Chain A
Amino acid sequence: MQVSIPGPAESRFPGFTIPGNIASDSVDGETIAINLETGTYFALGLNASLIWNCIRDSKSDAEVGEIDESEIESILRTFVAEGLMLGPVVGEVSEGVLTKFSDMEDLLLADPIHEVESTGWPSLRSPGEGPR
């Protein structure tokens, strides 16, 4: 099928970014995304995976061009609604985009490692705040 590849890779979904607390990878075209802060994880459908990988890897993907624009919008809104992405749309979950799993939430120490580089150690607590 002849498809048109829209614009430069980074402009295909302008403004959409994956926050640092989301880890993801794909196998056989299906993507697993994990929110390391909440423990919630997601199995993305095939089209959702195509868009996800396009944004994550900052590359153009011809196959995304085959996805209906309204479906693309639903997928992006779902990503934002579930906290998987930051982006210039109002979040709203659409059915069928992904499957959400919450069964790990009570199993983790719900705080990812915070990278500290030039700024030194993370800020100290205010006196009297005490441990969490």
Chain B
Amino acid sequence: LTATSFSVFDTFERIRSLSRPATESSSIVVRVAGCETLVTGDLDIVDEIADASFDSAPVSTRTRSVDEGFVEVRRQSVDAVVWPFDSDRIRSGPITLERHRELELLIAVNEESGEAYVWYGHEIPSWERSAPLRRVLHLLLAKRGVHLLHAGVLSHDGYGILIPGKGGSGKSTTVAYGCQSGWQTIGDDFIALSAVSHDSPLPEPIVSAMYRTFRLAAASPAFSLLNVEAPNPTNLNPDAKVVGYLDKLFPGSLVPAVKLCASVVPKVCAGQRHSTFTPASRALALQALAPSSLLLAGGRVDSFRPMTALVSSIPAFTMAIGSDVGSLLGVLSEILDAVRGNGHTRSAT
């Protein structure tokens, strides 16, 4: 998976280069090949779905060109897109079709062939830029026993900490402070768990990088660490987060994979100055990890059991991030000390 992760990065670089403002009359179809080889199958699925998805635009108005695996479909008007089915996500055999509610995105995935087709109806949405093809990869990788997790990770001296939590819980802030102080990471938002078996606990709780990107709210106290200019409001995503590359923001911080030894559920607690930690139940870690991972990944439940196996493998803690945000690093170090000394029941400091 190590090599895979970085080849995925390469693919994303190319996809990101397509993130230009869309012209009025074009949409982009990106063909991905899972994580192994670029499959050059026939395009019948594209035709079938496109025929069903384009209402008034006659098929004959579309022209198609293939260039190094990328397929571009042009049509007359993006406003003509109509999702003809009574559900936003449908699945038949190995094929999954999915539509984003604002009609920004149509996805067709063939898990059997490893092919995926993605239509961007308008400009590529901001969340797709920061975690490109997240849903496609979720479907294609799950078949290979690789599961997408919504969590950040920090690592020190080979000991990794899983940081699960929904948006705004402090994942990226924690990762930023860690990377700034020489800790390593595989990502702040979406990572991959390789679990070909569902043994619980996992014999090797190893998680891998999925993306190079790093997303941080402009309002986060960690923003000052980034050594970037204050964001121009016109460049901000709708969720007021800035996107950058981890390996450029924090050189040397991005590693391909990490072995976990603890999960830490963060929570911003502005009412206290110093950050603190408390041992927690593994169910709390699962509660922080599973709902957002499953819901954001698209509702496939195959990944639930591997997530349970993962949190079963490592002790869990909660971390209250105080107003002295930098103090969270001391807390993470204490947690690592506690885990390495097998002192899982250590009290909060």
Contacts and interface: CB of A to CB of B under 8 A. Distances in A.
Nearest to A124: B84
A131 B100 CA distance: 11
Given A25-B304, A36-B294, A113-B96, A30 B91 contact: no
B291 A41 contact: yes
B103 A131 contact: yes
Given A108-B295, A111-B88, A32 B290 contact: yes
B221 interface: no
Contacts of A132: 83, 88, 101
B45 interface: no
B89 A30 contact: no
Interface residues of B, number: 40
Interface string B194-232: 000000000000000000000000000000000000000
Contacts of A24: 304
Nearest to A31: B283
A23 B101 contact: no
Interface string B90-114: 1111001010110100000000000
B299 A113 contact: yes
- Which one of B90, B282, B311 has the highest number of Cβ atoms from chain A below 10 Å of its Cβ? B90
Nearest to A49: B283
A115 interface: yes
A11 interface: no
Contacts of A3: none
B286 interface: yes
Nearest to B105: A109
Interface string A118-129: 001111110000
Nearest to B303: A23
Contacts, number: 113
Interface stretch (A70-78, A88-96, A99-107): A99-107
B144 interface: no
B283 A115 contact: no
Contact of B98 (A32, A104, A113): A113
A24 to B, nearest CB: 8
A100 to B, nearest CB: 12
A30 B103 CA distance: 39
Contact of B167 (A27, A43, A107): A107
A112 interface: yes
Contacts of B86: 122-125
Given A121-B92, A125-B86, A28 B281 contact: yes
Interface of B: 82-93, 96, 98, 100-101, 103, 166-167, 281-283, 286-287, 290-292, 294-296, 298-301, 304-305, 307-308, 311-312
